[in-house]
Structure 1
Amino acid sequence: MAESSGGSKKLLWVMIILVLLSSIGAAAAIYMVLDQRGGDESKSEPVAQRETPLFLRIDPFTVNLADDRLGSRLLYTGMTLRVGNDETTQILTEHMPQVRSRLLILLSSKQASDLTTVEGKEQLGRDIIDRLSVPLTENQPPLDLREVLFTEFIVQ
């Protein structure tokens, strides 16, 4: 009997040691997982800074539209251009007479029926960007025109 109780005690001690080692291993694994989560937040890429939008206001226009079935019509519109950089703003400001001339010619070529729909206004915005993207001077860098925002729009 002495031998069996000595073997049981050894087995009991071995099991206690195994349980302790397993607990320590589990605690270490939990610590590493939690530490890794906290580390990801501090090591993550910096949040992209919000860009301040650049706007260039263009004085309102009143133009005669191309004749349609209802006769002569007028368009009164104000617009603002959203641009991507200061260089574009500077180039457009320096050449504002040319910009306004291009816009007047473009606007006066439209018919009232084309401008009274949402799709027509969106198309006009794309046409304005296309017209202003043509260089105003020699060796001009490309303009970064993002959007045309109509601030006033009356077809009469």
Structure 2
Amino acid sequence: MATSKGGSRKLLWLMVILVVLSSSAAAAAIYLVLGQRNTTEPAAAQAEVVPERRVPIFVKIDPFTVNLADDAYGSRLLYAGLSLKVGDEETREILEAHMPQVRSRLLMMFSGQQASELTGASSKQRLGDQVLAVLDPPMTDHQPELVIEDVLFTEFIVQ
């Protein structure tokens, strides 16, 4: 009987040692897997980082009709509508708050143009640059700089 008691004790110790070893091995494996996942995730996350897509902000300027400078064909008209692509909400708010001034500046600038200067594609690009130049001076004291990215002609008829 003494041998059976001693044998069962050895068997018990053997089982305890096996449980401790298997638990240690499982813990080490889990640690390695989680450790490896944490080191690869930031690299993968950095590779997958997509630049934040900004929703474009447009300020629509209602279409207007203006008399152009006289040319060989007599009096001509320009019917133009445009939108301004702006870089931030502050610029949008300033332009909308001062829309009468914006329209006045544009009408004055357009009225000095001749019809022959407005009909080509490159002339519209030049006209867009002139629009940017006309809107560049501040409309009020202490006005922050306007961020106007592009001038888009939505309607354009020379008659």
TM-score using structure 2 length: 0.71
1:113-132 alignment runs, 5 A limit = 113-132=116-135
1:64-143 alignment runs, 5 A limit = 64-143=67-146
Once residues 45 and 106 of structure 1 are traced to their aligned partners in structure 2, the CA distance between those partners, rounded to angstroms, is 47
Shift of 1:44: 3.1
User: Partner residue of 1:49?
Assistant: 52
Using the aligned pairs only, state the percent identity: 53
Once residues 62 and 43 of structure 1 are traced to their aligned partners in structure 2, the CA distance between those partners, rounded to angstroms, is 52
In structure 1, give the amino acid aligned to 2:129: R
Shift of 1:42: 3.5
Q: Which runs of 4+ in 1 moved over 2 A?
A: 38-46
**Higher mean Cα deviation, 45-54 or 81-90?**
45-54
In structure 2, give the amino acid aligned to 1:73: R
User: Partner residue of 2:61?
Assistant: 58
SS at 1:82 equivalent = strand
Once the two structures are superposed, what CA deviation does each residue of 1:88-108 show, in whole Å capped at 9, x if it has no partner?
010011111110100000010
SS at 1:69 equivalent = coil
Once residues 88 and 42 of structure 1 are traced to their aligned partners in structure 2, the CA distance between those partners, rounded to angstroms, is 34
Shift of 1:71: 1.2
Once residues 156 and 85 of structure 2 are traced to their aligned partners in structure 1, the CA distance between those partners, rounded to angstroms, is 17
Q: How many residues align?
A: 120
Shift of 1:43: 4.2
Q: Which runs of 5+ in 2 are unaligned?
A: 1-35
